[in-house]
Structure 1
């Protein structure tokens, strides 16, 4: 892949680090928690001429960039931090550029060997002109919608917290629900396992019975269901 292509891909992967400029739509929050899975629904849309926005989960935040830039085409990038790492893969054709892994419903996060990075490309689509005047399309990233159909799924993350640099402390695993249509990125919820080192299935939320118990115990502070031994 040419240097120009690689530079464009890296630009989208790094744009999420820009301070928030525009986030289309507000953010509504509903939190549900049990002793093993913490789930929170949100409503956040980011797009336009590369809008940027952040998802604050309380213990850590993730920044996103999404939309279109003149001369760059459409794309979406994700930025975590040293404490919150994004689960990603790499491809030889993109100069080792990390690409955020797209998990599907029920797929295990933290269930096996995974690579963590602080920032990753979600998707990129643009035209590249050759020296002979012809052009070709570049469609990169697991979230890319080259067929013009919206792409949805879950990005996985590993929260290291205060254990950064300490190999003996396992991370907290979680997911963030995303949908990308080539113009707008929609985020509608996230969840994580509250026990370090325990994997989580993409899309997993507290069981219906546990949600009902939360309503009954709403007035009792600190009451939580114990994990079965």
Structure 2
């Protein structure tokens, strides 16, 4: 548990930053051998639409659906920065949010975080291929079908629909929209979200990773959260 009071590691970073709301929160864990990374952002409020839900689900799955996601392929398979990196979209009653998470060695902390942030930016700059979109939709459909095959999954969906005010017809409409999604539509929808300034929280040895973070991520302010 960390205190809500944060101490700025380097105040000069704020003065030179081009985006003062870019903050890396570090929960100091001395002598740990890995850095745990969590990156999250709110994608919609209580008045979220079916399209909002589709966009959140698509981006989270396209980037973070385990072995088949972009993050896993790039940051683990290609660059060897992590054992695993994953993403998820959560449709809560009052808000909708997306988060990505994984762990990396201390010396790879900056590269790992930058890789995750770069992929979030890339999704708003370049179109995904239709084949990649189709594969992601198939994954989401399979995930949903597996969930509905169990009594708990059906009950969970029913409760979510009640809380969100979503009807069965709207739910079916969302799946139909996913099946018809094009690369340009996904790019346009991704640009309606604020993916460039997520909340980033790290847990690691602050003394060993802070200097490299400041060098590799100069537009981000570092704030250390003090344990209670």
What TM-score range do you get, normalising by the shorter chain? under 0.3
Higher strand share: 1
TM-score by length of 1: 0.26
* Higher-helix-fraction structure: 2
Relative contact order (C-alpha < 8 Å, sep 6+): which is higher? 2
